[in-house]
Amino acid sequence: MRNGASIFLAVFIALGLSWCGFVLAPTRQLGGAKQATILNSSDRYPLGRPGEANLGLQVYRANGCAACHTEQVRQSGVTCDVVLANAGKNPGVVSNLVSTSKLKELTKEEADGVSQKIAVAGGKTEIHIVATGPDIARGWGMRQSVAEDYLYDYPVQLGNLRAGPDLANTGVREPDLNWQLVHLYLPASEVNGSMMPPFRYLFEVRKIGAAPSPDALVFPKGFGPPAGYAVVPKPEARALAAYLLSLRVNVPLYSAPFTQ
């Protein structure tokens, strides 16, 4: 290393290689990705979020929700469950087989073997694919998150810290708009012991006039504004809630299969 040019060359080689690997290659591999087909169906996925939910993603970004919440479900593997569909002509033999064999948490080969045995006895079975892992067991999703799930989002908010729960499927877990809004306004009212800061600035506390607002939040008992007042979401809060409700990763794909 005798002159500046050799340093330039060293940097060019080292950084250039990783630039090609981690910037150019994924752009080529995924940058032109199109919708995927849902397994065992002709429907396409994802469909893009509704307009209000897209605005809500910008509220999510602006308030840095990703500082505490991830939007990615991890999976350790898959297991197969054998489910009897039809006992066939020899129900006694088949039910005997079913009660003596292990039918859950099998590998693909084991499941095929059991399935084969039952088929020989005349029964019909289905093999269900089940994703496994702590995130799945928590009910955070039915399968791991894959590239397709984020196709139309900008910016993609994967997050890198779970100070709170994962939100990839919050629209499936908590599909009630009022629940989402009340939780944003006063998290502790919906989740006992929650450490989430309240986002009161996304709401307005109004005096109930002659015609009460149809958007006013309905609080659980013991919470809520004083009598004569109502909490009404501002447009930002409505958009954010619409975005949270649109977080639904619940279809099987070729890259992430499961049986619904």
Partner 1 sequence: MTDMQSPDPRPQTPDPKLDASCGLPLLALSGGAALWLVVGSALAMIASIKFHAPDFLADCPWLTYGRVQPAADDALLYGFCIPTALGVMLWIFARLSRTPLSMPLVAVAAANVWHLGVLIGLAGILIGDSTGFAWLEFPRGGSVLLLAAFLLIAICATATFGQRKERELYPSHWFLLAALLWFPWIYATGNLFLVAWPVRGVVQAAIDYWFANNLLFVWLGLAGVGTAFYFLPKLVRRPLQSRYLALFAFWTLILFGTWCGIPQGAPLPVWMPTLSAGAAALLLLPLLAVGMVAWRTVWGSVKSKWDNRPFCFIGAGMDCFVLSTLMLIAMACPQIGRVTEFTWFGPAQTQLQLYGFFAMTMFGAIYYILPRVVGFDWPFPKLVRVHFWISLLGILLLIVPLAIGGVIQGLKWTNPGVAVVDVAKATLPFLRVSTTGLLWILLGNLLFALNIFALTLVWKLALLRKAVAIVKTPLTTAEAKA
Site for partner 1 in 51-70 (CB under 8 A): 61-68, 70
Q: Examine residue 45 and tell whether it contacts partner 1 (CB under 8 A).
A: no
* H-assigned helices in 101-252: 108-120, 134-137, 170-173, 177-185, 187-190, 235-245
To partner 1, the closest distance from the beta carbon of 71 in angstroms equals 9
In the complex, what is the shortest distance from the CB of residue 73 to partner 1, in angstroms, rounded to a whole number? 9
C-beta of 63 vs 213, nearer to partner 1? 63
Give the 3-state secondary structure of residue 14: helix
The 183-202 site mask, x for binding partner 1 (CB under 8 A), equals: ----x---xxxxxxxxxxx-
Please give the Cα distance from 84 to 105 (Å, whole number): 15
The minimum distance between CB 168 and partner 1, in angstroms, equals 9
The answer to whether 20 contacts partner 1 (rule: CB under 8 A) is no
Choose, by CB under 8 A, the member of 96, 116, 152, 260 that binds partner 1: 152
Q: Do 92 and 47 meet the contact criterion of CB atoms below 8 Å apart?
A: no
C-beta closer to partner 1: residue 97 or 168: 168
Residue with tokens 């893009």: 48
**Total residues binding partner 1 (CB under 8 A):** 71
Q: Cβ distance 234 to 204 under 8 Å?
A: yes
| Residue 162 binds partner 1, judged by CB under 8 A | yes
Considering only residues 65-104, where is the footprint of partner 1 by CB under 8 A? 65-68, 70, 72, 74
Interaction of residue 21 with partner 1, rule CB under 8 A: yes
Burial of 172 (0-12, 13-18, 19+ CB in 10 A): middle
How far is Cα 146 from Cα 91, in angstroms, rounded to an integer? Answer: 42
